[in-house]
Amino acid sequence: MPKITILPHAELCPEGKIIENVPAGQNVCDLLLEHHIEIEHACDKSCACTTCHVIIRKGFSSLTEPTELEEDLLDQAWGLEAESRLSCQAIVANEDLVVEIPKYTINHAREH
């Protein structure tokens, strides 16, 4: 079973975190939330926003392929990189992951 390393994030996970024995088939967003890393997910994980954007620093190719909708949404994400994914759509396989949560997120509902 893979291990997921969450890199430190000043607000959500200041010390970083390692999550051991992650079952394949789970999305990264649910995994973070289950381990008390309160990543935003304004659309309730329905692939309709970019608030759960993460960067997969290791293990990117092991994740399920992004859909065209996810790729279109990612184009709007703050700090987009080649290894960016919406955590609600990134399904864990059998490879270790290193996940970075970007410093900022675009949440129009919260900004108004």
Per-residue pLDDT of the chain (112 residues; tens, 9 = 90+): 899 999 999 999 999 999 999 999 999 999 999 999 999 888 888 888 999 999 999 999 999 999 999 999 999 988 899 999 999 999 999 999 999 999 877 654 444 3
Q: What is the pLDDT of residue 109?
A: 46
Residue 48 has a CB neighbour count (10 Å cut-off) of: 13
Q: What is the pLDDT of residue 30?
A: 95
What ranges in the chain are assigned the alpha helix state H?
28-34, 68-74, 108-111
The CATH number that applies at residue 82 is 3.10.20.30
Domain count, the chain: 1
Place of tokens 């659309």: 43
Phi and psi at residue 100, to the nearest 5°: -115, 130
Q: What is the pLDDT of residue 110?
A: 47
Q: What is the pLDDT of residue 112?
A: 38
Q: What is the pTM of this model?
A: 0.90
Q: What is the pLDDT of residue 31?
A: 95
Domain hosting 49: range is 4-111
SS (H, E, C) 44-74: CCCCCCCCCEEEEEECHHHCCCCCHHHHHHH
